[in-house]
Amino acid sequence: MGYEDKSDGSRVYEVGSVDTVSLSDIIDENNIDTNSRWAIKIDCEGCEYDLLQDWDDVQILKKATHISIEVHTTNAGVNFFTTINESKIQPTFYNSEKWLRDYFANTHEGFLTSDDGGLRTYVFINKNVVEHKDELFWKNLLP
């Protein structure tokens, strides 16, 4: 495996091709019942833009009770992996936030939980869970 040291202190590795799977493949392989309560964390180092474009995956995500997604811009710096999809990574958060709002505003409450320059993390909680939060969470946790 070869690599190149960049002037900004990062190191670029050449690893060749990597097999990928779709969200529906992951759901099927793990026998996840998408009609039950389930959560997902999406941290795919720039590949989130591919996920955001797949209509079938969007429909699966809308069934999740909790979603955490990390979104990158071209300003993410040296701490994210450059992918073959680098051309899809946006210079600002405008398009990704518009996508998240357009697809999840009717089903989930969204929260920005981290903003680190070119990297943001959002959490989305299904509105039904939010509406019943007292009975679902706090009732059995606090005396």
**pLDDT tens profile 1-32:** 566 666 666 666 566 666 777 888 889 999 99
**pLDDT tens profile 50-80:** 777 778 888 999 999 999 998 887 776 655 4
Q: What are the distances in angstroms from CA 48 to CA 33, 54, 132?
A: 23, 10, 30
Question: Which one is predicted more confidently, 63 or 118?
Answer: 63
* CB 14, CB 84: distance < 8 Å: no
* Out of 37-51, 84-98, 123-137, least confident range: 84-98
Q: Please, which pLDDT band fits residue 130 given cuts at 50, 70 and 90? A: confident
Q: In the predicted model, what is the mean pLDDT of residues 24-43?
A: 90
**pLDDT tens profile 81-109:** 555 455 566 667 788 888 889 989 999 99
Q: In the predicted model, what is the mean pLDDT of residues 120-128?
A: 91
Q: In this structure, is the dihedral angle defined by the CA atoms of residues 123, 125, 131 and 136, taken in order, positive or negative?
A: negative
Q: Which two tokens stand for residue 75?
A: 């300003």
% helix / strand / coil in the chain, to the nearest 5? 35, 25, 40
Going by C-alpha positions, the residue among 102, 28, 39 that lies closest to residue 65 is 39
Torsion of CA 120, 117, 53, 103, to 10 degrees: 50
